[in-house]
Amino acid sequence: MSIKLLILTQYFPPEVGAPQNRLFELALRLKQGGVDVTVLTAMPNYPKMEIMEAYKGKDYFYEEMEGLKVHRSSIFVSKSKSIVNRLRNYFSFVYSSARCGVKHIGDVDVILCESPPLFLGYSALYLKRKKNAKLIFNVSDLWPESAEKLGVVTNKFLLNLAYNLEAKLYKSSVLVTGQTQGICKDINYRFPNKKTYWLPNGVDLNYYDPQRISDTKWREENNISSKDFVFLYAGIIGIAQGLEVIINAAKLVKDKPHLKFVLLGNGPEKEKLVQLQKQENLSNVIFIDSVSKSEMPQVLKAVNAVIVPLKKLDLFKGAIPPNYLKV
C-alpha cells in the first residue's frame, strides 16, 4: 500500500514562480516513485493578485494535472500592499484550506506544508489532528525572521505570534525540511533537538539543454539586438533580492548601450524599480512580465549571463552553494 501524501501550499501552477515549479516537480516525482499524492492549494492568483479567469467565482475546484489530484479552495486577493490585506490573504486560505481538507480530502498519512506563508501552519496543525497524520514542515524562507530583518513586519504583537507559531510547528513536525543549507543551519541553531533535512531546489538539465532548443525569436520579440550582451534576472521582484544593485550597475555602464539588463518577473518591488529606471533614464534596463515555464528554455538560450542576487544579510548566508558562484 502506497503512502498517502497531502501537499498543502498556497502556491501552485498554473501560477509561475519558484515554489510553484518546485512543488509541482516534487509532486510528480513522488507520484512516479509510488507515492499517492494529493495537493491542496489556493485558486491561482499569483503574482498579479487576481484570480485567474477559469477559477473566478469558485469556492472549491478540483482538477487533475498530469495525474496529480489537485483540490483548490478560495482565497482573498488584493493588489493593496497593506499588512491588513496581506493578513486577510493568508488567513482566508488558512480557513478555506482547513475546511476543504476536511470536506473533500480523505485519509492521508503525511502532510507536507509549504512555508511561507507561515500562518498556513494553522491549517496544517488542524488537518494533522483531523487526519491523524504526520507533519513535515518545509521552510523555503525563514519567516518571520526574514520579514523582521528586512523590515517588512515591525508589529511586535504579530512577530511574537509568528515566532510562537514557528516553534509550535517545528515541535509538532516529524521532520523540518529547508530549501537551503543556511535555513537548516539556522533552525538547528535555534532548535537543536529538531531533525532537519536539506531539500534543495533541483533542475531537469535535459529540459534546458540548449542543443534541444530550436532557434529563439525572444530577442526580436523584445526589441533586443542580436549584438547586445544580455544580463538576465528572472524571478520574483521582491525585497530580499535587493534588485537595486542591477539598476546601479546599469547606471555605471549606461555609456555602453550594447550591455542590456533584463528583469523578468513580477513582484512587490517592481513598480518602485520601474520608477527608478525612469528617473535615471536607463534605456539599458528592460522589464518583462513573468512567462510560463515552457517559455524559459527559449529565454535562457537567448541571454548571455544570469544574475542571482540577494541582499547582504547573515540570514541569507548558505542560500547559494559557493560552487554555484564560480565562473
Question: pLDDT by residue (tens digit) across 88-113?
Answer: 999 999 999 999 999 999 999 999 99
Q: Tens digits of per-residue pLDDT, 122-133?
A: 999 999 999 999
* pLDDT exceeds cutoff 50 at 324: no
Across residues 227-234, what is the average pLDDT? 95
* pLDDT exceeds cutoff 70 at 325: no
Could you give all domains of the chain from N- to C-terminal order, each with its CATH number?
4-198 (3.40.50.2000), 210-325 (3.40.50.2000)
- Higher per-residue pLDDT: 174 or 236: 174
Q: How confident is the model at residue 326 (pLDDT cuts 50, 70, 90)?
A: very low
Phi, psi of 107 (to 5 degrees): -65, 145
Collapse the DSSP code of 251 into the 3-class scheme (helix H, G, I; strand E, B; otherwise coil) and give the result: helix
Q: Spell out the residues 6+ positions from residue 204 whose beta carbon is closer than 8 angstroms to its own.
A: 25
Mean pLDDT (the chain) is: 89
* pLDDT exceeds cutoff 90 at 16: no
Beta-carbon count within 10 A of 282 CB = 16
Q: How confident is the model at residue 37 (pLDDT cuts 50, 70, 90)?
A: very high
Q: Which residue has the cell 525585497?
A: 239
Cβ distance 59 to 119 under 8 Å?
A: no
